[in-house]
A and B are shown apart, each in its own frame.
Chain A
Amino acid sequence: MINTNEFLCQLEYEVLKTRSVSELNCKAFADLSLESRAAYAQAMRFLGCESVETTPVATIPVPGSDRVRASKLMLLSLYLETSSPAWSSWMLDRLLEAVMGTPEASVVDLLRALQEVLEAYSCELTWPVRNLIRDMVIKCFSEHRPSYEAADWTWLVLKTIQRTSPAQAYLAYLAIPPKIMTTQCAVAILKALDGTPYWSEAMNALEEDLPNSEARILNEIGAEGLRSEIQIGIEQADRGEVAPLDDQATLARVQSHRHTEGVG
């Protein structure tokens, strides 16, 4: 039996280099433990190992960390780490089938893997990256809605508040269900998207998610004023102040700022 972690590191290196798996590694896969084969069999098939059996191990429980790692391997085969991913609808269909064909799978596995690859490789929010994110979220949501709605997305809210890049923020804006979106998270998303072509799109959608008073803050602040307000929110988050935004105080600050600008 071979060491699973070493094998997977080698596999990731190979996928990054060739976007597929060599015959040698396809054969070596058979020497992994039953649990590891259950976790990665679908991904190996997606990566071109047609000899890999998927059915006999389908009932073995698979930890979430392994399911996410398997999804990451598949995403890397699409050149995602280059910020210029290349895919087709047919490939995305097969990829999602592979993700959901793994025991105990959830659509979260794929979107978490996406989030982690965007971070690990500092992916930029290019046009193809934006399109892949959008296609994946819509596909996961529309084709596996029960799985999507049963999933816990709190990790993505917390991760976004903690630190987010423009690409990760675009994923968060699309993927986080409106019912769990918070003002702090919305502010972090808009801050990260500031200066990108997608700021307005996110702003329009996010203000709908929030309670009237909080949405009014986003609306009142507007594109220019938002920058300073976001900074306040981020600094609060950095200090670990997770209390709800003081909407009245914020409105007062913004209105006062506008009044001053108008007089000037």
Chain B
Amino acid sequence: MIDSGDQENGDETIGDPQDMESAWEGLPDLNKLPESVLARIVRGDAKGRAFGSPRNPRMPTIAEFNPRIRDIRAGDLANVITGRMHPENAKQAASVKQLSNADLVRFRLEDPISAVESRGSLSLRGGHHRTAEIIRRVQSGLLSPDSTIKVLIHD
């Protein structure tokens, strides 16, 4: 599981968007999302009770989670993300900074960059440190703004 994880040092050169395509191989199978990702669902059951909690012990089904992928230009992330669950943790940010461009944008089924969408804007539910690092690299010219970031959108 990584929001930080890989400590490998990537080259800090600007990534070719075509090369970045190899960061994922085919479409991810969203039926295989782990419970830790399903737990990111924002809405609760009919009474609003949080899934996976004492009042509503079960996790949401895939249908309830309603996952879909949205491709977003790295250069658009800063404007599209309008909500976050928490601020960045300095230690985690330092760790994510060590990732190569390819690892940074790679779609991770076990821990995807994920968000809830509302009128085109995204409220992040996972991948806070990776998206912050992507935004920083685009701004500093280390990552192409045309790189595609696959974001898991869910309910």
A176's closest neighbor in chain B, by CB?
A: B54
Contacting pair A138 B50 (CB below 8 A): yes
Q: A142-B35, A201-B48 are in contact. Are A86 and B57 (CB under 8 A)?
A: no
Is B119 interfacial (CB 8 A cutoff)?
A: no
B52 at the interface (CB under 8 A from A): yes
Counting chain B CB atoms within 10 Å of each CB, the highest count among A89, A131, A205 belongs to A89
- Which of B1, B39, B54, B92 is packed against the most chain A CB atoms within 10 Å? B54
Q: Is B49 an interface residue (CB 8 A)?
A: yes
- Chain A residues contacting B89 (CB-CB under 8 Å) are 78-79, 86-88, 91
How distant is the Cα of A85 from the Cα of B64 in the complex, in angstroms? Answer: 29
B3 and A90 contacting across the interface, CB-CB below 8 Å: yes
Instruction: Using A20-B91, A128-B87 as known contacts, say yes or no to A208 and B129 having CB atoms under 8 A apart.
Output: no
* Tier of interface size on chain B: 20 to 34
Q: Is the CB of A89 within 8 A of B47?
A: no
Residue B55 is within 8 A (CB to CB) of chain A in the complex: yes
Chain A 75-102 near chain B by CB (<8 Å), digits 1 or 0: 0001100001111111101000000000
Question: Which B30-83 residues have C-beta < 8 A from chain A?
Answer: 35-36, 39, 44, 47-55, 57, 59
Q: Judge whether A178 is part of the interface by a CB distance below 8 angstroms.
A: yes
Tell me what chain B mostly uses at the interface: helix, strand, loop, or mixed: loop
- A216 to chain B minimum Cβ distance, whole angstroms, is 16
- Tell me if A204 counts as interface (CB < 8 A to partner B): yes
Distance A20 CA – B91 CA, assembled complex (angstroms)? 9
B59 touches A88 (CB 8 A): no
A88 close to B128 (CB less than 8 A): yes
Q: Which residues of B contact A148 (CB under 8 A)?
A: 54
Say yes or no: A84 contacts B87, CB within 8 Å: yes
What's the minimum C-beta distance from A21 to chain B, rounded to whole angstroms? Answer: 12
Asked if A87 and B86 sit within 8 Å, CB to CB, the answer is yes
Return the chain B residue nearest A137 by Cβ: B53
Cβ contact of A178, chosen from B1, B2, B55, cutoff 8 A: B55
B126 CB-CB contact with A under 8 Å: yes
Give every chain A residue within 8 A of B54 (Cβ-Cβ): 137, 141, 148, 174-178
A148 to B57, CA, bound (A): 11
Q: Is the CB of B85 within 8 A of A128?
A: yes
Give the CA-CA distance A127 to B84 in the complex, in Å.
9
Question: Which has the most chain A C-beta neighbours within 10 Å: B2, B36, B44?
Answer: B36
Interchain nearest-CB distance for B92 vs A (Å): 5
A142 to B: closest C-beta gap in Å: 4
CB distance from B51 to the nearest CB of A (A): 8
Decide if A253 is an interface residue (CB 8 Å cutoff). no
Contact check, A89 vs B111: say whether CB atoms are below 8 A apart: yes
Cα distance A204–B86 in the bound complex, in angstroms: 26
Check if B4 is an interface residue, CB within 8 A of chain A: yes
Query: Which of chain A's residues has its CB closest to B46's CB?
Result: A204
Given contacts A90-B111, A208-B49, contact A142 B59 (CB under 8 A): yes
Interfacial chain B residues near A137, Cβ < 8 Å: 50, 53-54
Residues of B within 8 A of A138 (CB): 39, 50-53
B5 nearest CB neighbor, chain A only:
A90
8 A Cβ contacts from B1-37 to A? 1-5, 35-36
12 examples of A-B residue contacts, CB within 8 angstroms: A84-B87, A86-B87, A86-B92, A87-B92, A88-B89, A88-B129, A89-B111, A90-B5, A128-B85, A134-B50, A139-B39, A200-B48
Given A88-B129, A89-B1, 9 extra CB contacts under 8 A: A84-B86, A87-B89, A88-B128, A90-B111, A91-B89, A128-B86, A138-B53, A174-B54, A174-B55
Residues of B within 8 A of A (CB): 1-5, 35-36, 39, 44, 47-55, 57, 59, 85-92, 111, 126, 128-129
Q: Across the A-B interface, give the 8 residue pairs with the lowest CB-CB distance, nearest first.
A: A86-B89, A142-B52, A88-B3, A128-B86, A90-B3, A138-B52, A131-B85, A177-B54
